[in-house]
Amino acid sequence: MTLLENARIRLGWVKAHIGIKGNEIADTFAKEVTTDGIPASLPFTKSFLKKQLLQLSLSRWQAEWDNNETGRSVYSIRPKISNKQLHWSRECIQFATGHGPFPSYLKRLGLHSTDYCGCGEIGNPLHYATRCPLTLSITTRNQAHNS
Protein backbone atom coordinates (compact mmCIF):
# COMPACT_ATOMS: atom_id res chain seq x y z
CA MET A 1 0.00 0.00 0.00
CA THR A 2 1.41 3.39 -0.92
CA LEU A 3 0.99 6.68 0.88
CA LEU A 4 -2.16 8.59 -0.03
CA GLU A 5 -3.47 5.62 -2.01
CA ASN A 6 -7.09 6.24 -1.04
CA ALA A 7 -6.87 9.91 -0.03
CA ARG A 8 -9.85 12.00 -1.05
CA ILE A 9 -9.97 15.66 -0.03
CA ARG A 10 -13.05 17.73 -0.79
CA LEU A 11 -13.72 21.35 0.14
CA GLY A 12 -17.18 22.82 0.15
CA TRP A 13 -19.45 25.38 1.79
CA VAL A 14 -22.03 24.06 4.24
CA LYS A 15 -24.71 26.33 5.72
CA ALA A 16 -24.84 24.91 9.23
CA HIS A 17 -23.68 27.61 11.64
CA ILE A 18 -26.67 29.95 11.69
CA GLY A 19 -26.64 32.33 14.65
CA ILE A 20 -23.02 31.78 15.75
CA LYS A 21 -21.17 35.05 15.02
CA GLY A 22 -17.68 33.63 14.37
CA ASN A 23 -19.04 30.89 12.18
CA GLU A 24 -21.32 33.36 10.35
CA ILE A 25 -18.27 35.46 9.44
CA ALA A 26 -16.33 32.37 8.35
CA ASP A 27 -19.31 31.24 6.27
CA THR A 28 -19.56 34.67 4.63
CA PHE A 29 -15.89 34.61 3.65
CA ALA A 30 -16.15 31.03 2.46
CA LYS A 31 -19.17 31.91 0.31
CA GLU A 32 -17.32 34.93 -1.13
CA VAL A 33 -14.33 32.83 -2.10
CA THR A 34 -16.46 30.22 -3.82
CA THR A 35 -18.34 32.83 -5.86
CA ASP A 36 -15.85 35.68 -6.35
CA GLY A 37 -12.49 34.02 -5.78
CA ILE A 38 -9.89 33.19 -8.37
CA PRO A 39 -9.73 29.46 -9.02
CA ALA A 40 -6.55 28.04 -7.53
CA SER A 41 -4.43 25.69 -9.55
CA LEU A 42 -1.36 23.76 -8.63
CA PRO A 43 1.72 23.94 -10.87
CA PHE A 44 2.04 20.14 -10.65
CA THR A 45 -0.29 17.24 -11.31
CA LYS A 46 -1.67 15.17 -8.47
CA SER A 47 0.21 12.08 -9.69
CA PHE A 48 3.49 14.01 -9.78
CA LEU A 49 2.99 15.26 -6.22
CA LYS A 50 2.10 11.76 -4.99
CA LYS A 51 5.23 10.34 -6.62
CA GLN A 52 7.41 13.08 -5.09
CA LEU A 53 5.89 12.50 -1.64
CA LEU A 54 6.49 8.75 -1.93
CA GLN A 55 10.12 9.26 -3.01
CA LEU A 56 10.75 11.74 -0.19
CA SER A 57 9.15 9.41 2.37
CA LEU A 58 11.17 6.41 1.18
CA SER A 59 14.36 8.47 1.19
CA ARG A 60 13.81 9.63 4.78
CA TRP A 61 12.83 6.14 5.86
CA GLN A 62 16.02 4.70 4.30
CA ALA A 63 18.17 7.32 6.06
CA GLU A 64 16.56 6.43 9.41
CA TRP A 65 17.00 2.70 8.71
CA ASP A 66 20.68 3.22 7.81
CA ASN A 67 21.41 5.22 10.97
CA ASN A 68 19.23 3.43 13.50
CA GLU A 69 20.73 1.36 16.31
CA THR A 70 17.89 -1.16 16.56
CA GLY A 71 16.91 -3.84 14.08
CA ARG A 72 20.46 -4.54 12.95
CA SER A 73 19.89 -8.28 12.54
CA VAL A 74 17.14 -7.57 10.00
CA TYR A 75 19.22 -4.75 8.47
CA SER A 76 22.02 -7.24 7.73
CA ILE A 77 19.49 -9.25 5.68
CA ARG A 78 17.43 -6.36 4.21
CA PRO A 79 19.51 -3.15 4.17
CA LYS A 80 17.31 -1.54 1.48
CA ILE A 81 13.83 -0.52 2.59
CA SER A 82 10.80 -1.00 0.40
CA ASN A 83 7.10 -0.31 0.61
CA LYS A 84 6.44 -3.70 -0.96
CA GLN A 85 5.21 -6.41 1.41
CA LEU A 86 7.58 -9.27 2.15
CA HIS A 87 5.97 -12.67 2.27
CA TRP A 88 8.18 -14.19 4.95
CA SER A 89 7.03 -17.13 7.00
CA ARG A 90 6.67 -16.74 10.74
CA GLU A 91 9.82 -18.83 11.23
CA CYS A 92 11.85 -16.62 8.87
CA ILE A 93 10.70 -13.51 10.74
CA GLN A 94 11.63 -15.07 14.08
CA PHE A 95 15.04 -16.05 12.73
CA ALA A 96 15.75 -12.64 11.19
CA THR A 97 14.66 -10.69 14.27
CA GLY A 98 15.84 -13.15 16.90
CA HIS A 99 12.37 -12.89 18.46
CA GLY A 100 11.56 -16.56 18.72
CA PRO A 101 12.18 -19.70 20.76
CA PHE A 102 15.85 -18.88 21.33
CA PRO A 103 17.41 -18.90 24.81
CA SER A 104 19.04 -15.51 24.16
CA TYR A 105 15.62 -13.95 23.51
CA LEU A 106 13.70 -15.84 26.19
CA LYS A 107 16.29 -14.87 28.84
CA ARG A 108 15.95 -11.22 27.85
CA LEU A 109 12.19 -11.48 28.42
CA GLY A 110 12.71 -13.18 31.77
CA LEU A 111 11.15 -16.43 30.48
CA HIS A 112 14.34 -18.49 30.62
CA SER A 113 17.00 -18.74 33.29
CA THR A 114 19.94 -18.76 30.88
CA ASP A 115 20.76 -17.57 27.38
CA TYR A 116 22.88 -20.64 26.67
CA CYS A 117 22.01 -23.44 24.28
CA GLY A 118 22.22 -27.05 25.51
CA CYS A 119 25.62 -27.32 23.82
CA GLY A 120 27.05 -24.54 26.00
CA GLU A 121 27.13 -21.60 23.55
CA ILE A 122 24.85 -18.55 23.42
CA GLY A 123 21.56 -19.74 21.90
CA ASN A 124 20.75 -17.22 19.17
CA PRO A 125 19.52 -17.83 15.61
CA LEU A 126 22.96 -17.62 14.00
CA HIS A 127 24.34 -20.16 16.47
CA TYR A 128 21.60 -22.68 15.66
CA ALA A 129 21.99 -22.15 11.90
CA THR A 130 25.79 -22.33 11.71
CA ARG A 131 27.57 -23.79 14.76
CA CYS A 132 25.30 -25.79 17.04
CA PRO A 133 26.13 -29.52 17.13
CA LEU A 134 22.53 -30.16 18.25
CA THR A 135 21.10 -28.77 14.98
CA LEU A 136 24.02 -29.65 12.68
CA SER A 137 22.26 -32.63 11.08
CA ILE A 138 19.22 -30.46 10.23
CA THR A 139 21.20 -27.52 8.85
CA THR A 140 23.52 -29.83 6.87
CA ARG A 141 20.52 -31.68 5.40
CA ASN A 142 18.85 -28.36 4.43
CA GLN A 143 22.06 -27.07 2.82
CA ALA A 144 22.38 -30.27 0.76
CA HIS A 145 18.71 -30.05 -0.26
CA ASN A 146 19.07 -26.40 -1.37
CA SER A 147 22.26 -27.01 -3.40
Per-residue pLDDT band at 59 (split at 50, 70, 90): very high
pLDDT at 10 over 70: no
CB 116 within 8 A of CB 123: yes
Q: Is 22 helix (H, G, I), strand (E, B) or coil?
A: helix
Paired residues of 122 in beta bridges: 116
**Cα R_g (the chain), whole angstroms:** 28
Residues 91-136 have pLDDT tens digits of 999 998 999 999 999 999 999 999 999 999 999 999 998 889 998 8
Residues 20-31 have pLDDT tens digits of 667 777 777 777
State residue 1's pLDDT score: 47
C-alpha dihedral, 81 to 85 to 90 to 93, nearest 10°: 0
